[in-house]
Structure 1
Amino acid sequence: MEKNILALLEKLVEFKSVSSDKKEGGKIINYVAGYLNNKNLLIKRYINNGFSSLLIYGKNHLVNKPFRILLNAHLDVVPALREAFKLKIKGDKAFGRGVYDMKGAAAAIIELFRNLSEKNKLPDDVGLTLVTDEEIGGFSGTKIFSEKKEAKTRLFLGGEPTNLKILMAHKGILKITVTHRGKSAHGSRPWDGKNANVKMASDISRFYTENPLPKREIWATTYSLNLINGGTAFNVISDHAEATFDIRRIYQDQPEKIISKIKKYFPQAEIKVKMNEPGLETDRTVPEVKKLAQILKRYNKEKDLFTKDHYATDGRFYSIKKIPAVHFGLEGGGMHQKNEWIDIKSLSLYYKILEEFIIT
């Protein structure tokens, strides 16, 4: 089984399916549709805003009835050098762009669907969505599926990296731009102008003096100032300065509270919310989640099998609709980094746990 999953993963990694490349996204979707094609599966392809996706389920599924479990995987990746799109095996690790996030989990899920459907053992109430835009927000893939009647479910189960734990929560996202206006003048005559850059620098300094960046991992709202733009030329007083915050908020800190805080430290600035996406919060007592945890407990001996993380996932589109959403993924590391990797042994273990979960 591990050999087959690795062979499929090798092929998936070869596709340079960076989110922005809609054509390559279409190619990998076509490949998977062909790989899964058999008489016992229904495979529906969608194209939304140029992004390709698939909805897959058994031939006997009633389309007007919600799935018991809807599995989800994204086949898009973040940019990388050419050599990263070739799977490399070193010892018990496999390296390549997207192996951890999340073509490795996708390969195991796809192989599971193929094997169960060919043996006519895929439960009628289990479905799968495959998307190609998760890394840039998921608005043309999972978000649209969450609004479709034929993709309704009682549990959304994604395969984001979790190191064989169950991810129950992640932070929400606020993208806020802060803009200061000034007055331009010749750089040699600062008294004739009003420097927007200086005002911005002063406000930023005050903000981080009173709200220092955390020095260790912490489950709290974080404020990352990742973009600053201002000025037009070396010798012109800047009449415009813009800063963009990437704010990852915990559930308790609602957007209104955060916006008020930004306004407090940038009182003369124009504040605009460019993105406001919810986090994910799922109760671990949900029956299907408890069932997954009970199965996982036999294979993962860690005391706490549940986890939470700071990144956002497509699960939020279902969670906001009060549909339980969790993620369960492979062991590995280096997400979005040069040496992204997975533990090869976790592929077959992951497959085995998912198989037991969906067929019992």
Structure 2
Amino acid sequence: MIYKNYPMVSRVIFGRGSFNQLDEILASKRKGRNAPFIFYVDDVFKGNHWLTSRIPLSYKDKIIYIPTEEEPKTSQIDKLVEDIILEFSELPSGIIGIGGGIVMDIAKAVSLMLTNPGESKDYQGWDLIKNPAIYHVGVPTISGTGAEVSRTTILTGPDRKLGINSDYTPFDQVVLDPELTKGVPKDQWFYTGMDCFVHCVESLDGTFLNAFSQSYGEKAFELCKEIFLSDTLTEEESQDKLMMASWHGGMSIAYSQVGVAHAMSYGLSYLLGIKHGIGNCIVFDHLEEYYPEGVAMFKQMKEKHNIELPQGICAELHDDQIDIMVNVALSLEPLWENALGKNWKTKITREKLTTLYKKM
């Protein structure tokens, strides 16, 4: 048997207020006056001087605010890369993503595409990237996606929604500052937190499970239960623990894989533009057949926090639209193999997926 030699984030700093050390972290990585740092920042922080005033700008450094109403598209990545090439005479010293999963995925994708020729859609898949990315840093401002630790960057292309999965995708540096997650709207906090919870369930219940991924997944699972079902945590404790649950959940799937909920939510996202976190929740709510204990606990969490999920989003879809979602879901073969084993094609049918989608 050949074991995959996975990369990890090489440097990470954790702690409330650790964002203030970003200047010190970046200083040694600057390549010169004409090689800027590009900061991609969630546009929810535009005008928020509490955060933006602490971004260390020098020389030609630039802040670019990223709208997050929609998930990243390959065309968006290509445009951002083109803008950098046209504006600057040298490659940037680094790309820094400050935000949630969308912004961090954009930062990872741009850092890869600055050193690899062609269009980003050409690299959707596994291990297609040949050249190392430029230096890139992730600073999560919401917890749960695991984007800060994963080896993928999820993009919607012209034909499919699929990540650029490669050994060069993980960040070189991550700054985990739980203070940055204050003020996240409750629904968004829940949806993103449930992305982490579903990571754990799918990893721990998958056929790819091993002691490495299990150790991370079990810790993240216990943290999620404490955060979303107990009444004993302070707000700060909840922020700290969810940030670590996100990290551990991301590490768990890095050495295993996700499963049914993620495969089907990709279909929802591709056709309907539904964001990843809420998409996972909508799908997972109907997966008792595959994850009975996890779904029961999810429903308990949903009730405790008075979360109402959208209903009937697929009710008016035509058969050809359902077929598009089914095609996207079935194209994610590693996810199905993890969920159902090597013979997964005998266990899941187009008709079964169609029935599930029509329940949503």
Instruction: Quickly name the TM-score band, shorter chain normalised.
Output: under 0.3
Q: Greater Rg, structure 1 or structure 2? A: 1
Higher helix content, 1 or 2: 2
Higher RCO (C-alpha 8 Å, min separation 6): 1
Normalized against structure 1, the TM-score is what?
0.26
Greater percentage in strand: 1
